[in-house]
Each structure stands twice: as C-alpha cells, then as structure tokens.
Chain A
Amino acid sequence: MHNNINDKNSKSPSGDLGVGIVNYGAGNIFSLTAALDRLNVTYGMVNTENDLEKYSHIIIPGVGHAGAAMEKLKGTGLVEAIKKLTKPVLGICVGMQLITEHSEEGDAALLNIVPVKTKKFDKSLHIKIPHMGWNAVNPKNNSLFEGVEDNTQFYFVHSYFIEYNPTFDIASADYGLKFSAAVQKDNFYGVQFHPEKSGKAGELVLKNFSNLSL
C-alpha cells in the first residue's frame, strides 16, 4: 500500500531525503505518513542499511508487543546499523520502548540505546490499563518540544511505560505514577504518545523533529 512512497523523492541528494521510516512490520503507519504529508515533510521507507543513509532523520514507529517488535526489528538485520546512527532518530510508542534497555513485556532485551527500563503499569495504583486517551505532558526545555506549552495534552495508548529518569527524561506525564512521555540521549529521541494522533501539538512535535539538526 505504500508503493508510491519509495520513489517519491528519489532525485534528491544522498542523506537529504527527509524522514526515513524503519519498515519492520510492527503496526500500521498510515496515520504517521498521513501526518507527515499534512506537514509537507518528505519521507520514505527504510528497508536496508543503505536506506538508512538516504535520509537525514529516522523514525522508528511501533504498535503492539515490545518483545515481538524487537524480534521483528532483529529480522530486518538493521539493529547494529541503527545503534550506530548519528543523525536524529525518533522512536514513537513501542518504537520509543525499543530504544530502552529492557521491557517487562515479554521480558525482552531491547536496543539499550537509552539505559532506562520499560515497565508494566500496576493495577494496584487504581488505574485502568491500557492508559488510553489524552494526558498532560510537561516538557523540559528541549528542541523537540519547541513551542509546546506546559501541560499540553497528547494522545497515549499503552500498557507499558518508561521509568522516569531525570538524566534522559525530556517530558514527563502522570498516570498512577510519574513516567517519561519523552526521552533523549544524544541524537536518539523517543515519545510514548502518538504525535500523529495528538492534534496540533502532536504535529508540532513531528515538525520540530523533522527540523532538528545536530
């Protein structure tokens, strides 16, 4: 269904094709590409190591089971190349969880780019699981959240969360406990919410990411 995307901008110079989306079969990306279209951000699919070189920015999407997503990512043979990237990388939802060290979902070892853990929400905190809906996010001063005010709401759908760690946290949220809605380590970013489903605020975050230069 995305066969029109690959050659969309094939005439641009190397490393300047916009956003490359890692295509590893973990969830649907129609909404993400639709959001990028609305923002006039060019994009294409990353299937091979060579593809990683074509784009100036990389997004790792993801929905579903983190352990299963990690297995699928390994199946692409791109794991080591992704870890070595020095251009801006953004993991979304399960894609964010993949850049952490470990997930309780499937007791899975992950990419360990950001040394924090992905844990399961605890029912005993009197919260419903999944955490589904719009929740307030408190961004720190970070280019990804340029122009986003404190307590802006974003759309979340997840049952596992990334533990709050002040070193890597760039935006926190509360659901029974304080967790990281966004993290950063060097050129690697992750957001737990779905920017493509979070109204204007989400579109701003995607736009900010596409404009990041390191």
Chain B
Amino acid sequence: MLSKRIIPCLDVKDGRTVKGVNFVDLRDAGDPVELAAQYAQQGADELVFLDITATHERRKTMIEMVKSVARQLNIPFTIGGGITEIADAEALLNAGADKISINSAAVRNPKLIEDLAKTFGVQFVVLAVDTKYVNGKNMVHLNGGRLITELETENWIKQAEDLGAGEILLTSMDHDGTKAGFDCGLLSKVNQMINIPIIASGGAGSMAHFTEVFQKANVDAALAASVFHYGEILIPDLKQELKRNHIPVRI
C-alpha cells in the first residue's frame, strides 16, 4: 500500500535555511545540506525547499544549494520559489531536484503548467496554491496571502490538473501559523475533485492534526515547517502515532 508522506518544508534565503531550527546536534542550523540529511535520517519521506530570496544572484546560489543537497540526500525533494520559465525549471532539474513547485507564475501564466508538464513530465510539476476564505468563497491568494486574485481555489486547482499539474500543494492561509489543525473540510473537498496527489499544508500543531488530516481528508501527504524545525514534533514519533492509527507510513 502506498504510504502517506510526511514532508518538512524549509525556507531558504541566499542558499541558507532561515527560521529558527533547533536540532540540538546540528553544527550549523543554517546549512540546508546538513538539515536535509538530518530530516532524511529521521524518516522524512520528502523535503520541500522554498526559496524566499529576491535578488538577481538568486538563481546561481540556489542551483549550487540544490546540487549540494542532491549529492547528499537519498530521498526526493522539491524546489519552489521564483520559477517563472522553462529555463529556471531545467536548471533545477539538472541540479538534481525531483520536482519544482510553482505558484504565482502559474496564476499569471497558466500555460506555464502545460509547458512544464510537456517538457519534463507531469510528475515534475507541483502547483502550490495559497487559499483564504473570503465572503463565502475559497479564493486563491498570492504573496503569502496578502494579494487576493479573482480565482476560486477549487476552479483553479481543477484547471491546473487539466493543464498537467502532477501534484497540488494546498496551503490554507486561514490555518497557517495557527497550530489549530489543517483545513480538513477544504482539503477533503478538493481531494475528491482531482485525481492527482495532494499535499496538505497550514495549521499543523500536534500529532493528532496529522492523524486527522489523513483520516478526514485522505490527503496523500502532509507538510509542516515550525513544528518540525522547533522539535515540537519528532518525525519518528509522528510516524509511530500514525501507524497506531492505522495510517500507512514508511517507518
């Protein structure tokens, strides 16, 4: 049986991981390679690196980081942030990234999804969607939830699947940072609409939240950042807890 995946998400700036990470035995908490290796050893099934750098030097630094990660890491990883054209994606693929995640560039130019899927295969293309509930509707947002678009979340995801997205990373901005649990209602609704894998994101605060999102929304994977980085949830413990709840995981 296919396992449900647990995915730590790392923010990267200028080739360094940011946000407090407090693994006690880490020599350099800002080193993405060391951090990635640590998560892989703990049993993470996959990693997502989100590049939040906004300089022109970004691409070069990021490519070097991706290569370093790929040399060391024996599990798959996704790179997101600032990918706007085929050349960006190709450079990341050649540096060893397994998937790329696109967000605002796809909203501005939906054909990018199609072009990426045709060039590299659907398995390479993750569509990240930030959603917020506004006036009774789920609306796609950009810039970390600050900018609303005209797109309804459900319609956009369906359109992206038709265009060739291979996976959906759905972040609820209403739940993100609350540590009050994932948005199981919306995740379940979207999951029933599509036939590609979906990653739940936003709201993880306890191990019970992971159990809940797999049981209630039957998502394929769950992503979190701070609960892992701050050591509030240890991946081996989480996997055991999920197993006790009869959720298929890789131990």
Contact = CB atoms under 8 A, between A and B. Distances in A.
A134 B45 contact: yes
Contact of B40 (A136, A174, A199): A199
A37 interface: yes
B121 A64 contact: yes
Contact of B250 (A134, A196, A197): A134
Interface in A126-180: 128-136, 153, 155, 157-159, 174-175
A194 B76 CA distance: 10
Nearest to A152: B250
Contact of A34 (B5, B71, B195): B71
Interface residues of A, number: 36
Interface string B130-163: 0000000000000000000000000000000000
A135 B1 contact: yes
A35 interface: yes
Contact of B220 (A38, A128, A153): A128
A130 B2 contact: no
A135 B75 contact: no
Interface string A39-76: 00000000000000000000000011100000000000
A175 B121 CA distance: 20
Contacts, number: 88
Contact of B167 (A132, A159, A174, A199): A132
A1 B122 contact: no
B18 interface: no
Contacts of B195: 123, 128-129
A155 B73 CA distance: 13
B119 to A, nearest CB: 9
B105 interface: no
Interface residues of B, number: 31
B166 to A, nearest CB: 6
Contact of A197 (B76, B93, B197): B76
A194 B123 CA distance: 13
Given A34-B71, A34-B96, A157-B123, A134 B167 contact: no
B196 interface: yes
B5 A65 contact: no
Given A128-B197, A135-B2, A198 B74 contact: yes
A6 interface: no
B121 A134 contact: no
Contacts of A158: 123
A79 B74 CA distance: 31
Contacts of B166: 130, 132
Given A128-B197, A197-B98, 18 more contacts: A30-B67, A31-B70, A34-B70, A64-B121, A128-B195, A132-B197, A133-B2, A133-B5, A134-B3, A134-B5, A135-B1, A135-B2, A153-B250, A157-B98, A159-B122, A174-B1, A194-B76, A199-B75
Interface of B: 1-3, 5, 40, 45-46, 67, 70-72, 74-76, 93-96, 98, 120-123, 166-167, 195-197, 220-221, 250
23 contacts: A28-B93, A28-B96, A30-B95, A31-B98, A34-B71, A34-B72, A38-B71, A128-B196, A129-B195, A130-B122, A130-B123, A131-B2, A132-B123, A132-B167, A134-B45, A136-B1, A136-B3, A153-B250, A157-B76, A157-B98, A198-B74, A199-B40, A202-B74
